[in-house]
Amino acid sequence: MRKPTSVLRYFLMLAAVAISPADAKEKPKTSVADLRYGVALYHYYQQDYIAALAELMVADTRDGIQGHGDNPELIAGGVSLAFGMQHHAEGVFNQILQDERRPQSVRDAAWFYLGKLHYSRGDWAAAEQSFARVSREFKPSLRAQMQALQINIRIRNKNYTDLTLDNIDRDELRSWSPYTFYNLGAAHAREGNFASAQQFFNELIDIDVVDNPVRRKEQWALQDKAYTAMGYSYLAEKKYAAAIREFTKVRLDGVFANQALLGYGWAAVAQEEYDEALRPWQLLRSRSLMYPAVQESLLALPFAYEKLGAQGEAVNAYQSAEELLAREINLIRDMRATLTEGELLTLIGSEPLSAEDAKKVLRGDDAEAGALTAVVTDDGQNWLKLDSTSIIKTRSAYMNELFAKNTFQTAVLDLRDLLRLQTLLQNWLPKLDAYRELLLQKQAQRDRQEQQLAQHAVLQQEQKLQLERATLAQQLAQISSSDNYMALADDETRALYVRIERGQQTIARMKSAGQDTSELETRIKMFGGILLWRAAQQYPAQLAAQQGELKSIDATLVNIAQTRNNIEEITATSIDIQPTLARLQVLQKEVSVHLENTDQLIAQQSRLLRQQVDQQLAAHEKRLNNYLAQAHLAVARLYDAELRKQPE
């Protein structure tokens, strides 16, 4: 995963200080108020930026993130910007800008990065309009970068002639001033205004070298570039001594040494100092043939020999050039044949190297001469920065020009992200299969458990109620058929009636013993009649109550039957599992479609990169063939001239 840009780090710092007046009244937060924001921050600090952005986007589609002001939006915009999701980042920034209540620091950041988006797309007018909305209170380091961009826009629009060393504030430009001075000098040189160009180049050269080792190397390289450009400007003005003076200031171990040595030689030739021209060209001739300046020196060196009248040395030098050029052409053809789409995908999809490891590989001490050695680094995060950090680097001069292009680096980053997405989707397919299998096993286990436990318990309850219902129904039927009022009488009446029955038994025994029981029979018959009358009065209500209880039992049995049916249905169909299985099927289809689309995009992107690489190598091959043809013609010309000198 790529590291975040300074853009992202600034966003976090900005989010920490961008507090609206309403927020200022609140107590300072010492903890995360919203869990999703905390999760997003966790992923961010773990350098898992895609997960952080995904968490913020999920939260946005729901209730949003509460309690953190503008922070989540700034982080979402910054992460989107760093990963080339320009449309999403633009939407975030525009949303921030539509709210006039946002703090000025937040609005400044949104206008600035929105301007950089327009700048990256080549929409100079829109970029300039966005930059113009940034306040003077904007962070000075980023404001310096913005001013450098504004000057670049003026250069592109050819509206820079009023920019002079007197009205450019070098302190405000900070570390961007060397780049600005060089760009302005190059712009004047392209228009033939060499005097103005030289002023800007000299201003760049006069800047004190910083102590920082990395910045110091960059500044030295930029100064070498300025010396070289200034030397060629003097060469165009036919000020050959001045040109040589500037060329000799370029470091011999710098990246611009070859161009300076070549220019030095041509400046000497222009003064007809051919012996002087031999020195830089002979040094240049000993360097790697990958560089165009070295290739040109193969023909420049014998040309100087010719001017000195050393025809033999000239012929030998041309013939040596033929051999070297032919060998280099074969090398390029081999590179074109071997650097296929598959090889590019393997390279781009490989694990990134640290800066130190990348340097060791790119030094190529053990590599074959002229071989294409390229690595993917872990610092390819600068989608919109002006410096030259790249994700893919090479030691081959044939590819340097192509690899230095922002469009190529962006295409590589796009392809690398597509490869990561492809891997993610490929990993998800078996995960979804495993999850589906897990649900099916869960369903099978539930079938067994629920059928054994749930149904058994419900069945027992149902059987118990059915038995109670049958008993009650039988009792009611007997009571109703015999009009047994006393069976439904209250407890007191039944207890008294039991005493009447015992009394009747006692009277019967007395009567059989010969005692007179007529009075007792009359009285007990009267009391029994009273009790039967009372029971008869209660009988309809009590019978209705018992029948109501019977109905209640019937209703309960119906509910139990419905519950049992529901259990059977759930067991049979797994109502709660089936929707998940259906959703899994949809997800599997979506993942397969996304994977197919990703595969197609990878094939398309790798094909485009392969075409760019092949076109770049073809251009080098064409130039080498032109040099080879010139060498052939030169040898033929010299042989012809020598033959003409011989007597017939």
DSSP labels, 110-147: HHHHHHHHHHHTT-HHHHHHHHHTS-TTS-HHHHHHHH
| Cβ atoms 561, 462 nearer than 8 A | yes
Pairing of strands 392-394, 374-376: antiparallel
| Cβ atoms 260, 243 nearer than 8 A | no
| Cβ atoms 70, 102 nearer than 8 A | yes
> What is the pTM assigned to this prediction?
0.65
Phi/psi of residue 374, nearest 5 degrees: -135, 150
Angle between helices 86-98 and 104-120 (to 10 degrees): 150
Shortest CA distance to 401 belongs to which of 328, 326, 252, 292?
Answer: 292
Any bridge partners for residue 392, and if so which?
A: 376
Name the residue type at position 184: L
Name the residue type at position 10: Y
Angle at 440 between CA 438 and CA 443, to 5 degrees: 110
Tell whether the torsion through CA atoms of 437, 439, 440 and 446 is positive or negative: positive
pLDDT at 67: 40
Question: Residue 460 is encoded by which pair of tokens?
Answer: 């027992």
Residues in the chain: 648
pLDDT at 163: 94
pLDDT at 40: 65
Q: In 316-424, where do the E strands start and end?
A: 374-376, 392-394
Residue 553 and residue 463: Cα distance in Å, rounded? 12
Q: What is the pLDDT of residues 520-560, one digit of tens each?
A: 778 777 877 777 777 777 767 776 777 777 788 778 877 77
Give 237's Cβ-side CA count (13 Å radius): 20
Name the residue type at position 416: R
pLDDT at 604: 93
Tell whether the torsion through CA atoms of 29, 35, 40 and 43 is positive or negative: positive
Percent of the chain with pLDDT over 70: 72
pLDDT at 596: 94
Domain ranges of the chain: 1-135, 436-587
Residue 106 CB burial class (10 angstroms; 0-12, 13-18, ≥19): buried
Instruction: Please state whether 442 falls in left (phi above 0), alpha (psi between -120 and 50) or beta.
Output: alpha
In the chain, which stretches have pLDDT less than 70? 1-50, 53, 56-86, 88, 355, 358, 361-395, 406, 446-460, 462, 472, 475-476, 479-489, 539, 543, 564, 566-576, 647-648
- DSSP character at residue 392: E
pLDDT at 72: 58
pLDDT at 265: 96
| Cβ atoms 38, 56 nearer than 8 A | no
Shortest CA distance to 231 belongs to which of 209, 205, 258, 250?
Answer: 250
Instruction: State the CB neighbour count (10 A cutoff) for residue 602.
Output: 20
Any bridge partners for residue 375, and if so which?
A: 393
Element (H, E) at 456: helix 454-482
Three-class DSSP category at 377: strand
Question: Residue 638 is encoded by which pair of tokens?
Answer: 């010299």
pLDDT at 523: 79
Fold classification of 1-135 is 1.25.40
